[in-house]
Structure 1
Amino acid sequence: MRPIRLPEPPSGFSGVPDILDGAIRRALVIGNGFAGAENQCIGLVRSLGLADRHSFQRVTRPRGGINEWLHWIPISLHKKINYVVKSVWGDSRFRTTVESNKVMPLSAEKSGLLNVLEADPKQIAVMARESFEKEGPLLVIASGRDTIPVASTIRKLAPENVFVIQIQHPRSRLDRFDLVITPRHDYYPQTAQAQEQIPWFLQRWITPRDHPDSHVILTVGALHHADSAALRSAAFTWHDELAYLPKPLLVVNIGGPTSNCPYGADLAKELIAKLQDVLWSCGSLRISFSRRTPLNVSEMFLSVFRANSKVHIWDGEGSNPHMGHLAWADAFVVTADSVSMLSEVCSTGKPVYIAGAERCRWKFADFRNSLQERGAVRAFTGKEDISETWSYPPLNDTAESAAQVHEALAKRGWRICT
């Protein structure tokens, strides 16, 4: 009996289905409830082409009351203490947050926790193992200190079924993850200059214990989701409100004080005076505050600029205009406290002026210096003519990191199926 001759497989055929050939078709994002960290994960997911094929879970700390003093301890211990406190004092109907010296209910909708599953590493690992043959490997992307034990446990429990990326430096034991993505300034504590500023008994807790190696991707700033596609969409969405404003449009983003960038009413007064000095050269001025902006600071800006027809201040009501501002602004003034805000505006290639940089120290100062060396930012002096433009190579950290993720996956024999 003559054997049956089968047709030749098409060129490039590997002999196994895509799913069994290391094709990654899904991602799981693990967030910590803070936009600055979670947006980095979403930005990387978008750049990898998995925007429509990812799920989202969170690691959340208890909030309100005594919990505000416990954010520095490991999250597992924090939850145990919170459980004991609730058992002794009873469970309140609302969690609380302190704002403007008033105690206000913190609803699930306001905190952004509604309908988001709490990340359980054991369940995620079981899911990754049981669905591996049918759906292929699981890409796990996490960001923030509280997500570290969850992401590392997932990899420990299912090392053959997941590829785990940790965004932001985990400080020690980088080998717990397949990739770590972190800004170069996270290694500032290892410099001789920084070591002189750290008491010897704190050095092992502040300084990253491992030097970057082949599975560490170093960026200039923070990853984000303000890519070209998102900005094109925002330009369309905000066209009617922003396109016809008198030019040049100067956008001012005001953050809030941090331990390494302390400021308050002093910086607000200085920034207001400088904005008044450049207002003659602006066609329009739009001001936005972050959730960290102190109330007394925002009220100062409102009292000075509320009646000025050139100036619009977003009051937090309605849609957040941030993406529209990135798309339509001609120049930016940004306070130096936020790596995320500076990374986003410096990805536009438009002029960026920093306010309050002299008040920042430690790795925030190192980050600002790296931006200045690239020609991406200048100090805001109040003597600028906003109509004068200048350019620089835009930050492209998210896309560049995505390219290195593809390379790392290829070394493992995996790839992202688009």
Structure 2
Amino acid sequence: MLSQIKEALSNLENKKLKEKYMQIIITMFEKGYFPGLENIPVAKSSVSNIDGENGLLTFRGYPIQELANNCSYEDVCFLLLKGDLPIPQEKKELKKQLLASKGIDSKIKETIISMNDNLHPMYMLSSSVLQLQSNDPKCFDLDQYTVNLNRAIQLIAKLPTIMGVYQTQNPEFAQGKTFDSFAQYILYCFNQELAAKPKWVNILDKLLILHGDHTMNNSTFSVRAVGSSKASIYASISSAINSLSGPLHGGANEKVIKMLTEIGAPENVESYIQEQLKAGEKIMGLGHRVYRTYDPRALYLKEEILPQIFAEDSPEVNSKLENLYNTAQKMEEIALNKFADKKIFPNIDFWSGLVLRAMKIEPKYFTTIFALGRIMGWCAHWVENLEVKNKIFRPNQLYDGFNTRHVLRDQLK
């Protein structure tokens, strides 16, 4: 049968597609199923694309580096949701709509403030998103594209406010304030001092863009899977936030900073790597399921963002932060020497935590920043999934349990 399948695939002119299908078929023959659905197409989408061999990530066809260099949060939000970059008037209107929609109900604010400090901020965020549904009784009316789009924009606008209320424990923390951009408002929710400095607003703007979307990752799959049941946008996005919280997904940037702190200094990196390899443990921030070269988002942070932060005249950089950066640079150097031939390179989580620490943001909030960027992509996928012929996600399984057996009454006595 395998030879017949190979013959059928020989008619495919696309070499990469042919290799991809062949690998899927081989996996099916070897294992009988697809662990983690690796490489299995589950949807058609025009939101973003990855060329893992060449390290290329595009949003609606635009390379991520060009978007980070030339665009704002509003530009990329419009692009992901509506399919193309906005003209100046459209950008102005979207910024106005985002800033006008950022308010949340006072009762929800009270609930946010009352949440236990021991609850990780990602779970606070996911539960708060679900609460927003209480003020949207028509959220299950999903048949109109424009209504779905506006609902997505309003939800995007409210996520920073949830974080700002929780961070400050003040329901009116931004009362009477005006903002030049949505990125400035997001930074204000975490660091009011830096939000007044254009350099840092610009850096956060670029960081959010880099996180905007990343094809069918685990959290985006969650959005589309939950949304396929015609659940509300709040349930869909809440599930994505919970997915992103995991250390194998968005939570990795928090783990990277913890790792660099534990290493302590550049001279300790070599021994740390050896110990991790000997113990068979994962080194956080290295490697990616899709990229077989340097993650383009990580490369942008390394080459464009971090040099701005760690310039000689930067007042925000103290000796502790400088040491973390030097330790990360040493780890990258050793990792590239050891693992580049195995196509293992630093990913975005390896460098993003350093950017956030420079903004004086605590590690437990790192993944929430990730979510404030990724919400653009999640919502774009949610809207897109409603526009195609929706079919509820219902994958199959291979049963690996007992054959049919029966209850014996005597054994229950």
Q: TM-score normalized by structure 1?
A: 0.27
Which structure has more strand as a fraction of its residues?
Answer: 1
TM-score when scaled to structure 2?
0.27
